[in-house]
Amino acid sequence: MTEDERASEDGTRSLTERLTPWRARETGANAGLTGRLVRRFAWLDASLLALIFGSTAIVVGAGLVQVSLGAYEMTIGQAWAAVVNPNVLFDPQAWDAFLLGEAVPEMRTESLIVWNIRLPRVLVAVLVGMNLAVSGAVFQAVTRNELASPFILGVSSGAGLAILLTLVAFAGVTLVVPLVVTEITLGLSALLPVIAAVGGIAAFLLVYAIAWKNGTSPVRLVLAGVIVSTVFGSLQTAMFFFADNIGVVQSAIQWTTGSLTGVDWEQVRIAIPWTVFGLALAIASARQLNVLLLGESTAKSLGMRVERMRFGLSAVAVLLAAASIAVAGIVSFVGLIVPHVVRNVVGSDYRKLLIGCLFAGPALLVAADVGARLALSPAQIPVGIVTGLVGGPYFLYLMRRQESLGEI
């Protein structure tokens, strides 16, 4: 062969030079610990930091609005003082009450209202926002489709159907749970959060079973999700038809559109363990998600068990979605929009994207909840309606601006 010049594109450089690691040459003596640290945190760049600070500012601002306004008259100063009231902030007994559900200790009325009624709502919004945003981002990687949402694999329809079945068909049923010393009798509606989450997870498993044929593919998963959602959606509507009274219907709608009305520390307690567990798993899987984005055959040739990974990651995302359904119902659009916004700001590296979602998700949901609470004050509308009203126009804007919407 005489195509030697092709064999050495950069023929003027010696092979030694070419094969000496570039990093080592560039950084020289600094290549030690500092160099490694720099590499380690290179992803924390300006755009991500700006997103984090901006989102945090929105959460804090909207949160302060939330704690300041309400039926009980107090000045803004009183409310803010109550938030930072050291007697509550550093009282372990109070935290036991909040996080473990023990008796709330004595405190001033303002503190009680702010800490026991208004703040938990903000906290639940933060948790739900994080869960939905990260869940949506994970699903978008798993299905390699920018238009995927936490509810794309049938989770919302399953949860909605489970809720309606409970409220309409089994309204009178009670469960008796035997414990060692006593037994508790629970109306099924007390178990609604659990039932909603279980319904969502069951629908997800059904979708997976339908999509499975010598393995799955993103397209088949999405199609199976559409099938299950359609059938379950019809069943939901049928259940409405059989509802006895308007109260049941309103309660069901509150669940299926997502609402933060009346949440308190109990909802925080329900959501926190799953949130921490799911978010930690999702963020630890950032690299797997990045590799999944390279396409199935590349991921496979890099040594990933694609099918197993896809199921595992979907399960984590469903868990996060189910945790948020359990405390707030089905809040639409957050899991769809937030990853989108974040991707536009920080790019598609999942390490940045997921961290960004952790901050931007709460920002959207806390802000939307301010709207839900104050728009038609004193009446409150479900926060899902506000996110839907914000989400639709945002997508219209995206559709107009971006030529190709869909593929990541």
Partner 1 sequence: MGERGFATDGGVGSILGRDDDSTADDDADDSPANASDGTGASEFSGDDLVIGYPNTDEPVIDGESIRVPPGEVTALVGPNGSGKSTLLKGLADQLSLDRGTVRVDGAAVHELGTKRLARKLGLLSQDSTAPNSITVEKLVAHGRYPHRGAFEALTDADWDAIDRAISLAGVDHLRDREVGQLSGGQQQLAWIAMALAQETDVLLLDEPTTFLDLRHQLQVMAIVERLRDESETTVVLVLHDIEQAAQYADHVVALEDGSVSARGPPEAVVTEELLADVFGVDAAVATTDHGPQVTPLRPLDDGDDGDETGGPDGERG
Give least dist CB 21 to partner 1, A.
4
- From CA 155, how far away is CA 224, in angstroms rounded? 12
Three-state SS for 184?
Answer: strand
- From CA 38, how far away is CA 222, in angstroms rounded? 40
| Residue 145 in the binding site for partner 1 (CB under 8 A) | no
| Cα of 106 vs its chain's centroid, Å | 35
Contact call for residues 335 and 132 (beta carbons, < 8 A): yes
Based on CB atoms, which residue is closest to partner 1, 151 or 208?
Answer: 208
| Contact map string, positions 185 to 224, toward partner 1, x by CB under 8 A | ----------------------------xx----------
Based on CB atoms, which residue is closest to partner 1, 87 or 298?
Answer: 298
| Residue 7 in the binding site for partner 1 (CB under 8 A) | yes
- From CA 87, how far away is CA 339, in angstroms rounded? 38
Based on CB atoms, which residue is closest to partner 1, 11 or 262?
Answer: 11
Give least dist CB 408 to partner 1, A.
6
| Residue 28 in the binding site for partner 1 (CB under 8 A) | no
Contact call for residues 142 and 220 (beta carbons, < 8 A): no
Q: Largest alpha-carbon pair distance within the chain?
A: 90
| Residue 288 in the binding site for partner 1 (CB under 8 A) | yes
- Which residue in this structure is represented by tokens 């030079």? 17
| Residue 403 in the binding site for partner 1 (CB under 8 A) | no
Phi and psi dihedrals of 380, rounded to 5? Answer: -115, 140
| Residue 157 in the binding site for partner 1 (CB under 8 A) | no
Sign of CA dihedral 278, 280, 283, 284: negative
Q: Which stretch binds partner 1 (CB under 8 A): 31-39, 113-121, 319-327, 328-336?
A: 31-39
Query: Mind giving me the DSSP string for 220-282?
Result: HHHHHHHHHHHHHHHHHHHHHHH-SSHHHHHHHHHHHH---TT--HHHHHHHHHHHHHHHHHH
- Say how many residues make up the chain: 408
- From CA 379, how far away is CA 254, in angstroms rounded? 13
| Contact map string, positions 348 to 367, toward partner 1, x by CB under 8 A | xx------------------
Binding residue (CB under 8 A) for partner 1 from 4, 73, 183, 403: 4
| Residue 400 in the binding site for partner 1 (CB under 8 A) | no
Binding residue (CB under 8 A) for partner 1 from 89, 302, 375, 376: 302
Give least dist CB 18 to partner 1, A.
5
Nearest partner of 316 among 349, 350, 362, judged by Cα: 350
Neighbours of 368 (CB within 10 A): 27
Give least dist CB 297 to partner 1, A.
4
Based on CB atoms, which residue is closest to partner 1, 144 or 373?
Answer: 144
Amino acid at 279: L
Give least dist CB 341 to partner 1, A.
15
| Residue 84 in the binding site for partner 1 (CB under 8 A) | no
Contact call for residues 331 and 342 (beta carbons, < 8 A): no
Binding residue (CB under 8 A) for partner 1 from 300, 311, 312, 371: 300
| Residue 250 in the binding site for partner 1 (CB under 8 A) | no
Based on CB atoms, which residue is closest to partner 1, 237 or 298?
Answer: 298
**68 Cβ contact partners less than 8 Å away, ≥ 6 residues apart:** 74, 76, 79, 80
Binding residue (CB under 8 A) for partner 1 from 171, 253, 294, 315: 294
Based on CB atoms, which residue is closest to partner 1, 98 or 139?
Answer: 139
Binding residue (CB under 8 A) for partner 1 from 34, 36, 50, 106: 36
Contact footprint for partner 1 (CB under 8 A): 1-16, 18-24, 31, 36, 39-40, 213-214, 284, 287-288, 290-291, 293-295, 297-298, 300-305, 347-349, 407-408
